[in-house]
Structure 1
C-alpha cells in the first residue's frame, strides 16, 4: 500500500470515528478541540481537521466557533452521520408477532425509525436466549425483550445495554397459568409443569412461582404448551394472556400473583451490544417512545393494519 492510500485509509477511519462521536451530541453542544480529538483517536491534527471538513462538506453538521469558549454544533444531521459510519440500514430482532401487542410494537418501531429516515428491518425469533446469541454474534443491531429478561442478562454480566424502555404492558398484558381441564386447582408433588428453557421470561416465572413446590418440570417449546395441555402431557404452564385472547381458545387459566413476587414481565425494552455506541446514540434522537406506543395502541384497537 502506497503512502497516499495509507493516508486515505487513515482519513476514512477518522471520518467514521468522528461521525460516531458526533452522533452522541446535540445541537448546542461544545465539541472537543482538534488537539483533544487527535489525542483521543491517536492521529495527526491535520487528519482531524480534514475529517471535520469532510463532515461539514457532506452537510452532516454545521459548526460555530465562539472564540476562547470553543467550537459548538449549530446544526446536526443524524441520518447523514449514520450513513457516513458506513451503516446503510439497521436490523432488529424481536419475538414472533403472535399477538396484536407484539404486532403493534413491531409496527411502532419500524414506522418511527423508517419515517425518520433510518432504513430498518425486523426479524422474528422465538426464545430470548436465541435473540441474545444472535445479538452477541453481530447478526442484529438491536433486540426486543422484556425488562425481566434484560435485567437477568445484566445480572449475568452479559455484554448488553438497555437503550429504550416502553413502560408496563408494552410487552405483554400479563402472564397467566394455563391448566388442563382435569386440573383440580391444587399444585402438589408430581404436578407436571411445562417449562421452556430457551425463554428467560417463561423459565424464570415458572421457577419463581413453583420455588416452594415439588412439581415435575417437563421441557417443551413455548408453542407446544397448549397442545400438551389438551393431550394431557402436562397439567399446567405459564403463558401469555395476549396470545390466549387472540387465539379465542377455551383453555382454563388462573392469574399469577405478580406483585407479591415483584416481577417486571410486562415491559418491553430494546437492548443492544454494550460495545455498540451508534445504535443507542441514534435511537435517543429518532425513536420516540410515545410515538411507538401510539402505533401499538392503534394496531391493538384494529384502527390501523400492522406494518413491519
Structure 2
C-alpha cells in the first residue's frame, strides 16, 4: 500500500534545479501518524534539495539529494543528542531528530538579512491582527547549533527595526544559555529594557526533545519502541554549571523539558541551584512541562517554578 502524499509536502514551482526548497509545519499525526520518508519528496522534487521541519522544530525531513549534499549515508554516526532515523537495513530515511538536524543546517543556503527583517515585520503584523501586542522570542538556537545566529538576529533584525522605528510589537528576548556572560554584559551596559519595545529576558537551554519526534525523555520507553526512552540533548553537569552562573548574574533561566524524566531531572537540578545560590525570586521557567510524573506538579508550586505551557504542546 502506498502512503498518500500529505498536503504540506508539496514542491515549489518557482525553483530552478539545484535550488533549495525549504519549509515546514508538517505534523504526521494529521495523516495517521506515519513518519514521512525521503522517497515521498524524491518523487516530486528529484532535482532540488528539500528540507522541511516538523511543526515542533525537533525533527525534519530531507530528500535524497539534500542528504547527498550533507554527506549523510549509512556510515554517518548519530551525533550526541540526536538521531538519524534509519530503515531496518540501516539506510537513512531522511528524518533527522534534534542535534542531527545540524548536519543539514550546515549546508542549507543562509537566509538573507533582508528576508529575516521582512519576516519580523510580517510576523508582527500577523500578531497585531490577532490582538497580540507582546511576545517572548527564545530565538532559533537548539543544542548542537551555533548560538551566534540568535545574536545575529538581535543585531541585524531587532536593533535594525528599533533604530528604524519599525518595531510594531513588544518583545522579550531570551538568548542561548552558553552565551550567558554576553547577555549579562549587555544588561549591565544597557539595562533590562533597551526601549519600550525590546526587553532582555534571560537565557534558554534544552534538556530533551519533543513528544511528536519521539525524543522527549521519559522514565518508560515509547509504546511500540521498547528501546527508545527519548533523548537527553544536554549534559547535566554542563547544564547545572551554566544555570548556576546565569542565576548568579541575575538572569531568568528557561529550560525546555517535555518528558516526565526530563522534568524530574530539572526539578532536582533547581533544588541544587537553590542550595548553592540561595533562596530568591528567580522565576525559573520549565518550558512546556508537558508530561509530569504524579508527584511533579506539587514540586512546581513548592519550588516556585513557572510551568511555561504552550497549547501546541
TM-score w.r.t. length of structure 1: 0.24
Which has more radius of gyration? 1
TM-score between the two structures when normalised by the length of structure 2: 0.24
More helix by share: 1
Higher relative contact order (CA 8 A, sep 6+): 1
